[in-house]
Amino acid sequence: MRRRHAGVLLILQLQIAVAACCCWGLEVGYYGATCPDADAIVRQVMERRFYNDNTVAPAIIRMLFHDCFVTGCDASLLIVPTPTRPSPERVAIPNQTLRALNIVNAVKSALEAACPGVVSCADALALMARDSVALLGGAAYDVALGRRDALHSNSWEVDLPAPFSSLDDTLRHFAAKGFTADETVLLFGAHTVGAAHCSSFRYRLARPDDSTMDESLRCDMVGVCGLADQPAAADDAMTFLDPVTPFAVDNAYYAQLMSNRSLLQVDQEAATHAATAGYVAYYAANPDAFLQRFSEVMAKLGTVGVLEGDAGEVRTVCTKYNTS
Ligand code: HEM
Ligand SMILES: *[C@@H]1O[C@H](CO)[C@@H](O)[C@H](O)[C@H]1NC(C)=O
Ligand SMILES: *[C@@H]1O[C@H](CO)[C@@H](O)[C@H](O)[C@H]1NC(C)=O
C-alpha cells in the first residue's frame, strides 16, 4: 500500500518535472558537459563590469526584454548591420539602449576562450540578465539553457510596445507573448532600476493639468527636461525611473506608481486600470512576493520564442553571423 503510494507520488513528480520543462526543451544543466564553467565565467565578467559602472545592469535587463520581444530570445538584437545584411533590429531600436553591447562581446569572448563555439549568445544574454538582477539585489533564479542564435535580424520585425501606448494595447501585446496581466505588471517592475531620457516622457510635461502625474514630479521633470517647445538638446538629459532606489531591484516602484510618480505613461496607467491596479497595490505592499515573482517572470521572459536543437547557430561573435 505504502509502496503504491510512493509510486503514484513518483509519477506525479515526473509529470510536474515534464510540465515544467516540456515547452521549451531548455535545461538548467545544458552546458554541464560541454562548458561546465559557463555560469561562473559570465558572472565574473558581469561583476567586474558592474563594479566599474552599475548602469550596465539595467541596460542588460532591458536588452533581454527587447531581444525576447522581437522574434524571441535569439540574440537577433545584437547583430550589427553590414552592407550585405543591412536591416537588423538594432537600427530600429534607440541606440542608447544598446550601450551594453560591448559587455555582451566581453562576456562572449571569455566564454569562447574557455569553450569555443559552445555557448550561444542568446544563452549568454539570459545569464547576464540573471546576474544583473542579482547584482541589483534581486532574487537569484535558475536559467534554463540551450537557446540558439538567430540567422536573421530585421527592422520590420521590431514591434515593441511604446511608452505612450494604451495599457489595453500593451496588455494584449504581452498576452500575445504568453504573459498574464499579473506577469505584465511584474515585468514593468523592471523599471525599478535604470534611467529614461527626456525624449521618452517629455510630451507628458506639456500637459499642464495632467492629473495622472504628480505635480511636484512634473515640476522636477520640467527642470530636468524643459518643455516640449525648448531645444531638442534636453532630450539627451536622463533621469532615474525609480528615483528612490535607482539601482535596487525592489518594490519601491509600485509605491511610486500609486502616488502618480511614474515617468512612463503606460506604467502609470497600470496603477488605476481595473485589470492591473490590484497587482500594483499587492506588489507595493509585499516586497518579498515582488522579489520572488519578479525573478520567476524574468526566467519566463528568457524563454519567449527561443530557437532550439538544430535551428539557427551558435555565433562566435555576438554582433555578427558566423557566415556573412
Ligand atoms: C510596455 C512595456 C515597456 C515600455 C513601453 C518600456 C519603455 C521604456 C522606456 C521608454 C525606457 C527609457 C528608455 C530611455 O529613455 O532611454 C525604459 C527603460 C528601461 N526598461 Fe522598459 N519598457 C517596457 C517594458 C520593460 C520590460 C518588460 C523590461 C524588462 C523586464 C524593461 C526594462 C527596462 C529597464 C531596465 C530600463 C532602464 C534601462 C537603462 O537604465 O539603461 N522594460 N523602458
Ligand atoms: C546614437 O545615434 C545618433 C544618430 O544616429 C548619434 O548621433 C549618436 O552619437 C548615437 N549615440 C550613441 C551613444 O551611440
Ligand atoms: C493620482 O491620479 C488619480 C487620477 O488622476 C487621482 O484620482 C488620484 O487622486 C491621484 N493620487 C495621488 C496620490 O495623487
pLDDT in tens, 113-132: 999 999 999 999 999 999 99
In contact, 162 and 93? CB cutoff 8 Å = no
Quote the CA–CA distance of 96 and 92 in Å, as a whole number: 12
In contact, 173 and 237? CB cutoff 8 Å = no
- The pLDDT, as a whole number, for residue 154 is 76
Cα angle at 74 between 68 and 76, to 5 degrees? Answer: 90
Average pLDDT, the chain: 87
pTM of the shown model: 0.89
Q: Which residue has cell 509585499? A: 286
Q: Whose CA is nearest to atom 3 of ligand 2?
A: 95
With bands split at pLDDT 50, 70 and 90, how would you rate the model's confidence at 98?
low
The better pLDDT of the pair 202, 249 is held by 249
Lookup: cell for 219:
515640476
pLDDT at 25 over 70: yes
Q: Which domains does the chain have, with CATH numbers?
A: 27-160 (1.10.520.10), 167-300 (1.10.420.10)
- The pLDDT, as a whole number, for residue 29 is 92
Quote the CA–CA distance of 64 and 76 in Å, as a whole number: 11
> Percent of the chain at pLDDT above 90?
65
Distances in whole angstroms, Cα of residue 32 to Cα of each of 26, 36, 114: 13, 5, 13
Q: Which residue has cell 520581444? A: 69
In contact, 277 and 271? CB cutoff 8 Å = yes
Q: Which of 50, 60, 65 to mutate to test the pocket of ligand 1 (most atoms within 8 A of CB)?
A: 65
In contact, 283 and 290? CB cutoff 8 Å = yes
- The pLDDT, as a whole number, for residue 167 is 96
Q: What's the average model confidence in pLDDT over 61-80?
A: 92
The answer to whether 168 is annotated as binding is no
The answer to whether 27 is annotated as binding is no
Question: DSSP per residue over 113-180, as a string?
Answer: HHSTTTS-HHHHHHHHHHHHHHHTT-------B--BB-S---GGG--PPPTTS-HHHHHHHHHHTT--
pLDDT at 19 over 50: no
Quote the CA–CA distance of 216 and 261 in Å, as a whole number: 9
Q: What is the Å distance from ligand 2's center to 116 Cα?
A: 33
Q: What's the average model confidence in pLDDT over 10-33?
A: 65
List all residues 6 or more positions away from 235 whose beta carbon is below 8 Å from its beta carbon: 197, 198, 199, 202, 225
Most confident of 210-219, 227-236, 306-315: 306-315
Distances in whole angstroms, Cα of residue 267 to Cα of each of 46, 118, 222, 256, 308: 28, 39, 19, 10, 33
Please list, residue by residue across 163-194, b when 16 or more beta carbons sit within 10 angstroms of its beta carbon and e when fewer do.
bebebeebbebbeebebebbbbbbbbbbbbbb
Quote the CA–CA distance of 251 and 291 in Å, as a whole number: 8
Instruction: Report residues whose beta carbon is within 6 angstroms of any ligand 1 atom.
Output: 55, 58-59, 61-62, 65, 96-97, 161-163, 170, 187, 190-191, 193-197, 200, 264, 266, 301
Q: Choose the weakest-confidence range: 79-93, 222-236, 296-310.
A: 79-93
Q: What is the Å distance from ligand 1's center to 241 Cα?
A: 9
pLDDT at 38 over 90: yes
pLDDT at 28 over 80: yes
Residue 204's CB is within 10 A of a number of other CB atoms, namely 22
The better pLDDT of the pair 275, 15 is held by 275
Q: What's the average model confidence in pLDDT over 167-180?
A: 97
Q: Whose CA is nearest to atom 8 of ligand 2?
A: 95
- Region of residue 159 (phi > 0: left; psi between -120 and 50: alpha; otherwise: beta): beta
Among residues 79, 59, 97, which one has the least CA distance to residue 149? 79
List active site positions: 66
Quote the CA–CA distance of 244 and 261 in Å, as a whole number: 11
